[in-house]
């Protein structure tokens, strides 16, 4: 019995010791593994952009007047200098208050009285002229019989000319009084009168400045419009370009002529384009997080034929990737395998289950993958997302 107890306790002690050793024995760290490979690497700067018609023409009112209702709709085709897009007619006069109406009525009566007075003076001047004509004829008849002096004849002629001039003066004054009466009556014209005469009124017709389509109606309903006020925008949707506002730090890397890739525009295929212009003017833009950013507009032209992007139009959203650098058969590696110390890049290489720290030289990168210039060869396996649990010489095992 005594030996049986000793054997039992010895066995139990051995099992406990083995369990403790097993629990404390270092185990390999489970890691994700990526292989170094060769392939195509494209370095781009990506940003959201929008399409726009290259040349947008704004049709505005040349004068202050009443805009008739615009009959055209957005998307209608227009022909330059032929399609009438808007018509403007004179503005209706304002309503008169009681005092202004009384003053205008009194002005009419004054003008009528002045005209009547001038008509009476016209009769008087006509009578004076008739008398002067008679006197002149009598003097000319007597001068032949030597019964009238030359001086008296000259006075009769002078009197005739004076009376004729006086008659013309009164006639001119009568015409002036008639115009004053017409002007006084015009002050009493009401908006109701002008509406009755509107069909006979000549209007200013505005024609399309270019061939294209109506992009946007700014004013559609009838109403008074000021001179210079915009009415509509016209452009050619087939002549599109893309404007992308890049961060200024990215814009300095972009040059004219660089290749661009247009994606996420609604179809499953990417469109080809190229950078046509980098604007030399930066502006401040507040991001969605409330951070002020310096932005620069980059203009991208579409290289594919219009048949491939005919559903794109003015103001559509697209994703633009400008290619800064690209290479074939590049030794590449996911950037998540790299970590940096003292300005140098390192990776952990899997050497038969042992992590070996190795310095590498990084070339171009696109945010997801990087070009490995030195330190690694194709086919080697490196650790993805290395944590602080991994050190040089540590045992590792690939996670299944």
Question: In terms of pLDDT, which residue wins out, 273 or 289?
Answer: 273
Residue 144 pLDDT > 80:
no
Q: What is the DSSP string of 106-162?
A: HHHHHHHHHHHHHHHHHHHHHHHHHHHHHHHHHHHHHHTTT-S-HHHHHHHHHHHHH
β-partners of residue 230 are: 60
CA angle 394, 398, 400 (to 5 degrees): 150
Distance CA(220)–CA(73), nearest Å, equals 9
Average pLDDT, integer, range 256-267: 93
Q: Could you give phi then psi for residue 364, rounded to 5 degrees?
A: -75, 150
Residue 122 pLDDT > 90:
no
What's the DSSP call for residue 292?
E
Q: Where are the alpha helices (DSSP H) in 187-326?
A: 191-196, 248-251
What pLDDT score does 46 carry? 93
pLDDT in tens, 200-218: 566 888 999 999 999 999 9
Q: How many CA atoms lie within 13 A of 92 on its CB side?
A: 17
Average pLDDT, the chain: 87
Q: Which residues contact 237 (CB under 8 A, 6 or more apart)?
A: 53, 212, 213, 215, 313, 314
Q: Are 349 and 376 in contact (CB under 8 A)?
A: yes
* 3-state secondary structure (DSSP) of residue 183: helix
Distance CA(153)–CA(146), nearest Å, equals 11
Average pLDDT, integer, range 49-53: 94
Distance CA(204)–CA(62), nearest Å, equals 9
What pLDDT score does 21 carry? 61
CA angle 224, 230, 236 (to 5 degrees): 140
Residue 62 pLDDT > 70:
yes
Q: Are 391 and 355 in contact (CB under 8 A)?
A: yes
Residue 234 pLDDT > 90:
yes
Residue 283 pLDDT > 90:
yes
Stated as kind and residue range, the H or E segment containing 374 is strand 369-374
What is the longest distance spanned by two Cα atoms in the chain? 197
Distance CA(122)–CA(176), nearest Å, equals 13
Q: How far is CA 146 from the centre of its chain?
A: 96
Average pLDDT, integer, range 3-29: 72
What pLDDT score does 22 carry? 59
Q: Are 206 and 34 in contact (CB under 8 A)?
A: no
Class in CATH terms, 57-92+197-235: mainly beta
Average pLDDT, integer, range 170-178: 89
Neighbouring CB atoms inside 10 A of 366's CB total: 20
Per-domain residue ranges of the chain: 29-41+328-398, 57-92+197-235, 98-189
Q: Could you give phi then psi for residue 65, rounded to 5 degrees?
A: -170, -165
β-partners of residue 312 are: none
Residue 13 pLDDT > 90:
no
Range of lowest pLDDT (16-25, 219-228, 268-277, 307-316): 16-25
Stated as kind and residue range, the H or E segment containing 265 is none
Q: Are 218 and 232 in contact (CB under 8 A)?
A: yes
What pLDDT score does 197 carry? 58
pLDDT in tens, 82-97: 999 999 888 777 777 7
What pLDDT score does 99 carry? 84
pLDDT in tens, 301-342: 999 998 899 889 899 999 999 999 999 999 999 999 999 988
Nearest of 95, 87, 103 to residue 192 by alpha carbon:
95
Burial 367-391 (b: 16+ CB within 10 A, else e): eebbbbeebbeeebbbbbebeeebe
Residue pointed to by tokens 């300095």 = 252
Range of lowest pLDDT (120-124, 188-192, 262-266, 303-307): 188-192
Token pair recorded at residue 185: 């009556």
| Burial class (CB within 10 angstroms; exposed 0-12, middle 13-18, buried 19+) of 164 | middle
Question: For 29-41+328-398, CATH number?
Answer: 2.40.420.20
Task: Place 12 in a pLDDT band, splitting at 50, 70 and 90.
Answer: confident
What pLDDT score does 298 carry? 97
pLDDT in tens, 362-387: 999 988 999 999 999 999 999 998 88
Residue 154 pLDDT > 80:
no
What pLDDT score does 280 carry? 93
CA distances from 77 to 41, 59, 235, 236, 315 (A): 45, 15, 10, 9, 18
CA dihedral (293, 299, 302, 306) positive or negative: positive
């Amino acid at each position: 019995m005594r030996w049986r107890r000793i054997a039992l306790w010895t066995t139990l002690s051995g099992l406990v010791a083995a369990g403790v050793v097993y629990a404390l024995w270092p185990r390999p760290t489970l890691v994700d593994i990526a292989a170094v490979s060769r392939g195509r690497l494209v370095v781009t700067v990506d940003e959201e952009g929008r399409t726009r018609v290259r040349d947008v023409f704004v049709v505005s009112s040349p004068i202050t007047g009443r805009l008739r209702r615009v009959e055209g709709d957005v998307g209608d085709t227009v022909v330059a200098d032929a399609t009438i897009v808007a018509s403007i007619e004179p503005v209706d006069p304002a309503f008169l208050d009681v005092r202004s109406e009384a003053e205008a009525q009194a002005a009419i009566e004054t003008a009528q009285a002045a005209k009547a007075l001038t008509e009476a003076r016209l009769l008087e001047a006509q009578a004076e002229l008739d008398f002067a004509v008679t006197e002149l004829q009598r003097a000319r008849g007597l001068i032949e019989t030597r019964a009238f002096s030359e001086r008296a004849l000259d006075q009769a002629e002078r009197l005739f000319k004076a009376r004729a001039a006086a008659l013309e003066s009164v006639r001119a004054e009568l015409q002036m009084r008639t115009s004053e009466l017409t002007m006084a009556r015009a002050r009493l014209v009401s908006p109701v009168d002008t509406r009755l005469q509107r069909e006979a009124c000549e209007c200013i017709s505005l024609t399309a400045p270019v061939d294209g389509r109506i992009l946007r109606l700014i004013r559609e309903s009838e109403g008074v419009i000021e001179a210079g006020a915009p009415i509509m925008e016209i452009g050619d949707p087939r002549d599109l370009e893309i404007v992308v506002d890049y961060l200024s730090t990215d814009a300095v890397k972009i040059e004219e002529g660089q290749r661009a890739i247009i994606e996420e525009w609604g179809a499953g295929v990417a469109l080809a384009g190229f950078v046509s212009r980098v604007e030399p003017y930066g502006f401040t833009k507040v991001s969605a997080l409330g951070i002020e950013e310096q932005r620069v507009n980059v203009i991208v032209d579409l290289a594919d034929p219009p048949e491939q992007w005919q559903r794109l139009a003015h103001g559509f959203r697209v994703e633009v990737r400008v290619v800064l650098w690209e290479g074939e058969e590049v030794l590449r590696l996911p950037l998540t395998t790299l970590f940096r110390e003292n300005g140098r890049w390192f990776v952990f290489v899997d050497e038969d289950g042992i992590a070996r720290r190795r310095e590498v030289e990084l070339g171009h990168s696109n945010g997801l993958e990087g070009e490995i210039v030195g330190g690694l060869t194709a086919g080697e396996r490196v650790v993805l997302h290395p944590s602080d649990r991994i050190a040089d010489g540590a045992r590792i095992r690939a996670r299944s």
